[in-house]
Amino acid sequence: AVLEVKKAGDAVKAAKTKLFPQFNVGAYESYHLTNEAFTFKKGAFGDFPIIGPIPAENTKITTTPDFTTFLNATIAQPITQLYEITLYIRQRQVEQSLYGQDLRSKQQEVAEYVKKEYYNILKSESSLAAEKEKIVFLRELLVLVNRYVSVGRALESESLEVKARLGRAEYEEFKARNEMATEKEKLNKLLGRDISTPFTVTPVSGAQPMTINPKEAGDIAIEQRPEVNAAKLGIKYAENEVDLKKSQYIPQVGVELQYTANLDVELLPQNTSTVALFAKWEFFDWGRRQDEIAEKKKAVLQAQNRLDESKSDVLIDVNSKIRKLEEAAALIDVAEMEQAAAEERLRVTMNKYKVESAILQEVLEAESSLDEKNKDYQQAVLEYWNSRAELEKAMGEE
């Protein structure tokens, strides 16, 4: 996208050169396949009293086939065409601005991808921390169950079940480490650096307070979104197309300086220089230009419709993202309460098990419930920050 903007800038510079005189040099080398003859009638160059007519009689000069060389150089300066050229330059500048909006869109996409990848890493770290806590708990529980087995208060099968859950937790921890390593490689790639570059991420809070006025957010989005700006530029482009078609009614007038050198034909002057004022005008075209202008005016209306539609789409997108963010923030509060309730349930059930007021299955069910609520909370936090990244992009923030 950056290269497209630079290419468009080069096109603008190239278009501006058409405002200046055009220099052309040409060479014409030919070989005559036939004999040419030049006939000069008697007295063609005058009849003088003492000398008489020149030539004195009809004279015919013939040539033999040979090479002939002509050199030609011209300098032409357009005059009335300068208005049309200026419009053409304006079109190229609008195109460059359109590519600039495409670049902004790409930049915003990359920024959104980076944020989401960053939050995925945070989720992986949170999952890894939760698995570590789970492993610590299961190891302590295994020690307690084994003690109960040794004194006949628990069955060997209960010890095996706890060991199996511990093995699963250790596997999940291993899996979480691998996932986090992959996420870090992806983020390094998005940042344009070696994928093995080590780094750490700074944790973010569950949900940061945001006061969002949908009307203000919509106004900001309409002002900043690349597609809206591109639609506005599309109207300018279409209007310039109308002016370009109208400019074809103007006669083409210019000045040309020409120099010609003849190197081989003796009968012709060796050097000639001329200055000319040239004009060209297509005064009748069977209504072609009028129809073309009508076509371009309809394109202006289409561009205006696209702008209106783009604004509506942007407002719908922003309002949708605001609602999604509000839902994600509300879900975090619910997930936090469910997580706290699951933690307390596990604590109470574990204490009951220690004093033989609860069975092991109740402890394991409480631990599974906490594990599920931890994952729900992590997913809720990730959803919140992803929704926030999407809203920032929807508002056209860089």
In DSSP notation, 229-269 reads HHHHHHHHHHHHHHHHHHHTTSPEEEEEEEEEEESS-TTS-
Q: What is the mean pLDDT of residues 301-321?
A: 96
Residue 210 has pLDDT above 80, yes or no: no
pLDDT at 67: 79
Is residue 31 pLDDT above 90, yes or no? no
Query: Average per-residue pLDDT in the chain?
Result: 90
Task: Give the confidence band of 189 by pLDDT, cuts at 50, 70, 90.
Answer: very high
Query: With 90 as the cut, is the pLDDT of residue 60 above it?
Result: no
User: Would you say residue 346 has pLDDT above 70?
Assistant: yes
Distance CA 189, CA 195 (A): 6
Which pLDDT tens digit goes with each residue over 79-113? 999 999 999 999 999 999 999 999 999 999 999 99
Output the pLDDT for position 246: 93
pTM of the prediction? 0.76
SS3 state of residue 21? coil
Average pLDDT over residues 208-229: 88
Instruction: With a cut of 70, say whether residue 267 has pLDDT above it.
Output: no
pLDDT above 70 covers a percentage of the chain that reads: 96
Question: For residue 266, what pLDDT is reported?
Answer: 64
Does position 70 have pLDDT exceeding 90, yes or no? no
pLDDT band at 206 (very low <50, low <70, confident <90, very high): low
Q: Which of 59-73, 130-144, 213-227, 274-288 has the lowest average pLDDT?
A: 59-73
pLDDT at 63 > cutoff 80: no
Residue 95 has what pLDDT?
Answer: 95
CB 165 within 8 A of CB 176: no
Give 338's pLDDT tier (boundaries 50, 70, 90).
very high
Model pLDDT for residues 123-178, shown as the tens digit of each residue: 999 899 999 999 999 999 999 999 999 988 888 999 999 999 999 999 999 999 99
Measured in degrees and rounded to the nearest 5, phi and psi for residue 213 equal -95, 115
Enumerate residues 6+ apart whose C-beta is below 8 A from 131: 169, 172, 173, 176
CA atoms within 13 A on the CB side of 339: 17
Cis peptide before 53 (omega within 30 of 0): no
The predicted structure's pLDDT at residue 209:
66
